[in-house]
Structure 1
Amino acid sequence: MDNNDFSSRAGASVGMTADAIRVRGGKPIQGRLKMKGAKNLVTKAMVAALLGQTPSELRSVPEISDVQVVRGLLEVYGVVVESDGDTLRLDPANVERAHETSINAHAGSSRIPILFCGPLLHRLGEAFIPDLGGCHIGDRPIDFHLDVLRNFGAVVDKLPTGIRMSAPEGLHGAKINLPYPSVGATEQVLLTAVMAKGRTELSGAAVEPEIMDLINILQKMGAVISVDTDRTIRIEGVDSLDGYSHTALFDRNEAASWACAALATGGDVFLEGAQQPEMITFLNVFRKAGGAFEVQDDGIRFWHPGGDLKPVVVETDVHPGFMTDWQQPLVVALAKANGISIVHETVYEQRFGFTEALVKMGAYIQIHTECLGSHACRFGQRNYQHSAVIAGPVELHGADITVPDLRGGFSHFVAALTAEGESTIKNVGIIARGYEHFLEKMQTLGVDFEVIG
């Protein structure tokens, strides 16, 4: 690697400030990485601290930009946030109203601000959220969130600059049925219901490991929450909550990403902190595709054992199914498999845009509107291109790529690792949203790269 003043270019606050990198592919990745707390849990746990009457402590917090966004918003509302290594201490004793301009300045393109609404309505009686951004991978309407908050008694006013909410009579329990087990809507219910008057029943809830860990945190704070086997969550509202002390669940999405990178490049990585229970479905597919893994007490080793990779048929689904965030880096490995693989995306309707760059690099991938899995999904007959056919093995070649979204961007990085020649990857800052110290980890794994922007 060309260091090019590596330490200053990497960016201490979020792990990466580079605009572009040049990767020279064709080399297996090898090494050991430590998995920190899950991006999809840590930021929600930080929001939960708003509900406490006493300080909270959250451990294993990754240095990613989404954490910085939430920290900035909490500080705007008067929460004192202190960091010590990968530990955050959050004191909400002096929560106060914030100006719309300050909220907008810190929110950026993150969708996290919508989850502030319930806690802020409890603490301040009002909340404001700006226009929401996020990765462009399909429709992520906030209608679920707004309907949920209205059910709790919130008054929602749409303004040119965003959405303002108030709770003139306080929030009360509600009976809510989600038409689809939305993770965000489930989080919204949990963060709102725990201090709403009376009982809340949520049916059709998401039950991802990150949701369960958020429930663990809220229970530590004093909440009363039960989860049934039929995706029904019942919450009994309480008058007040205390702070929590918690070590965040590891990031299974990051673990799967690096595992797929090892499989695609013929490499070998040990992911410290990765755990088997949250990755059972991924591990099965990884093994079927020809990969090898070894579960140890302190993590999981993933490697390519040699020989041809095998084609697989995969359908993404809500937990305990195969996560949508896992399919994108896996597709790169499947381009190296000997045969025809099929990936049926049932969670987001527009998540195959990243394959255009892979085709440019030499992959043979066809995208279809039909449901090519074992069962029809909610996107069938709606002209969404949500099934992919991948034929391999192919040899990828270097190309100029612009990162479209978080997981798609990592997949492009994996493709560059496997490709012959050089690839230039632009807009790589998006990857810092979910992968802590991305440049440093590349260096640790022996990637031949340089920062060029």
Structure 2
Amino acid sequence: MTDDDVLLVHGGTPLEGEIKVRGAKNLVPKAMVAALLGSEPSRLRNVPDIRDVRVVRGLLQLHGVTVRAGDEPGELLLDPSHVESANVADIDAHAGSSRIPILFCGPLLHRLGHAFIPGLGGCHIGDRPIDFHLEVLRQFGATVEKRPEGLYLQAPQRLRGTKIHLPYPSVGATEQVLLTAVMAEGSTELSNAAVEPEIEDLICVLQKMGAIIAMDTDRTIRITGVDRLGGYNHRALADRLEAASWACAALATHGNVYVHGAQQRTMVPFLNTFRKVGGAFEIDEDGIRFWHPGGQLKAIALETDVAPGFQTDWQQPLVVALTQATGLSIVHETVYESRLGFTSALNQMGATIQLYRECLGGTPCRFGQRNFQHSAVISGPSRLQGAELIIPDLRGGFSYLIAALAAEGTSTVRGISLINRGYEDFMNKLASLGAKVETPGFPG
């Protein structure tokens, strides 16, 4: 691990100031993939400079898509006029750390009749099988061949619309259906679909391209396939997950942070919970200010869920803040079975968190009888102490950063490059908020 992948964090200083969030990590790369379907160029605005965006940009360029910066900051122009097959080794080299390539399948099957997908990476927060994706593609008429270097898919004939029921409202599988169904022959009905704001924004992108997509209130999405799609001009919705992470950092450090770009509409469940814990916020047309109003934070009971519930990506940063709440907080994680593993490091810092295999919540979930430690009881408030920390995944990594900022003394945080996957320019944002951080040999 190189020095620039290590961060020394001198804790105990409240974060105060202003930062800005751009487009959502969980939307922008998918909107970039959607441009593959078009017969005309697309313009995507509010794009963050994060690793996932760079990975997808490289993959698109390998497939002949011209990608260049636009005139305004955070703008990309994507021209898919000359889509072509890519070298297997090049795809593997670009895609090894990302799970996005699986979403290239539908568009490439439509444009080229075949697609190659290497082994997939991503954060290790639980079982994230691609079975949903492959089964969906087979239902559309694709053939899937497993080869030593990855998966090779073909569409012997034009893909056909189908009826699909997801056993779980998977975001990735819903995206796969959308990106495949829009140009499949006939109609597609997807039931038990994910309905996250990023899914809705992807639907807006596809509709701008000429797709016909209807969303019902019962998690059913109906798509009528079209023969041709054009380009789009779209401003990505703001990253509600990053905004919530900075909100939790403000709360845990007794700080005051204004998040430009944060949007109330996509953060309602988080804002309700933030207020229940004792945090304060103020909303205006440009963003949301989050702060610790003084006094004691309150313990709560919380269950994560797919949208419109409390998002799993909000859970880890909030758990750090809950270590400072008075009493016993209960967190029941129902989306990813291994997402509470990061709490062992918090215990080493002085937190008191006990994990349980039982469903400690009002709703039994799919992990309840499978021996996963997916519920947590957090006893607080705790005096956190600086420690040696190794970042396990994207949200857990930012949560370690929050804990280090809230702790007494100095923490050594290793693997910070992983945070770049979803947090644009976070080092400069930390500096602008007054955080006392430095990389070895380069004092901050």
TM-score by length of 2: 0.98
Q: Which residue of 1 aligns with 2:182?
A: 194
Q: Of residues 399, 406, 417 in structure 1, which corresponds to 2:394?
A: 406
> Alignment partner of 2:297: what SS?
coil
Q: Of residues 372, 381, 384 in structure 2, which corresponds to 1:384?
A: 372
Matched, 1:365 2:360: no
Give, in whole Å, the separation in 2 of the partners of 1:41 and 1:449.
Answer: 30
Instruction: Judge conservation of contact 2:3–2:440 (CA < 8 Å) in 1.
Output: no
How far off its partner does 1:81 sit?
0.2
Q: Of residues 68, 71, 76 in structure 1, which corresponds to 2:62?
A: 76
How far off its partner does 1:356 sit?
1.0
Matched, 1:149 2:105: no
Q: Which amino acid aligns with 1:202?
A: L
Instruction: Judge conservation of contact 2:96–2:119 (CA < 8 Å) in 1.
Output: no
Instruction: Judge conservation of contact 1:368–1:386 (CA < 8 Å) in 2.
Output: yes
Give, in whole Å, the separation in 1 of the partners of 2:197 and 2:78.
Answer: 23
Kindly report structure 1 stretches of 4+ aligned residues shifted beyond 2 Å.
Answer: none
Q: Report Cα offsets for 1:247-278 as digits up to 9, x if no partner.
A: 00000000000000000000001111111111
State how 1:349-364 maps to structure 2 within 5 Å.
349-364=337-352
Matched, 1:298 2:262: no
Q: Which residue of 2 aligns with 1:256?
A: 244
Q: Of residues 85, 88, 103 in structure 2, which corresponds to 1:97?
A: 85
How far off its partner does 1:108 sit?
2.1
Instruction: Judge conservation of contact 1:17–1:429 (CA < 8 Å) in 2.
Output: no
How far off its partner does 1:17 sit?
9.2
How far off its partner does 1:176 sit?
0.2
Q: Which amino acid aligns with 1:183?
A: V
Give, in whole Å, the separation in 1 of the partners of 2:440 and 2:97.
Answer: 25
Q: Of residues 12, 18, 24 in structure 2, which corresponds to 1:38?
A: 24
Q: Report Cα offsets for 1:299-339 as digits up to 9, x if no partner.
A: 11100000000001110000010000001010010000010
> Alignment partner of 2:412: what SS?
strand
Instruction: Judge conservation of contact 2:163–2:189 (CA < 8 Å) in 1.
Output: yes
State how 1:407-422 maps to structure 2 within 5 Å.
407-422=395-410
> Alignment partner of 1:190: what SS?
helix
Q: Which amino acid aligns with 1:284?
A: N
Q: Which amino acid aligns with 1:72?
A: G
Q: Of residues 27, 46, 68 in structure 1, which corresponds to 2:13?
A: 27
Q: Of residues 275, 280, 304 in structure 2, which corresponds to 1:316?
A: 304
Q: Which amino acid aligns with 1:433?
A: R
C-alpha distance 95-17 of structure 1, shift in aligned 2 (>3 A): farther
Q: Which residue of 1 aligns with 2:33?
A: 47
Give, in whole Å, the separation in 1 of the partners of 2:372 and 2:69.
Answer: 44
Give, in whole Å, the separation in 2 of the partners of 1:276 and 1:64.
Answer: 23
Instruction: Judge conservation of contact 1:201–1:233 (CA < 8 Å) in 2.
Output: yes
Q: Which residue of 2 aligns with 1:13?
A: none
Give, in whole Å, the separation in 1 of the partners of 2:372 and 2:124.
Answer: 15
Give, in whole Å, the separation in 2 of the partners of 1:17 and 1:212.
Answer: 40
Q: Aligned residue pairs: how many?
A: 438
> Alignment partner of 1:179: what SS?
coil
C-alpha distance 17-46 of structure 1, shift in aligned 2 (>3 A): farther
Q: Which residue of 2 aligns with 1:10?
A: none
State how 1:114-133 maps to structure 2 within 5 Å.
114-133=102-121
Instruction: Judge conservation of contact 2:41–2:232 (CA < 8 Å) in 1.
Output: yes
Q: Report Cα offsets for 1:10-54 as digits up to 9, x if no partner.
A: xxxxxx993101000001001111110000000000000000000
Q: Which residue of 2 aligns with 1:60?
A: 46
Give, in whole Å, the separation in 1 of the partners of 2:253 and 2:134.
Answer: 44
Q: Percent identity?
A: 67
In the alignment, structure 1 segments of 5+ residues that lack a partner are 1-15
> Alignment partner of 2:298: what SS?
coil
Instruction: Judge conservation of contact 2:190–2:220 (CA < 8 Å) in 1.
Output: yes
Q: Report Cα offsets for 1:326-359 as digits up to 9, x if no partner.
A: 0101001000001000000000000011111100
Matched, 1:374 2:374: no
Q: Report Cα offsets for 1:351-386 as digits up to 9, x if no partner.
A: 011111100100000000000011211111111100
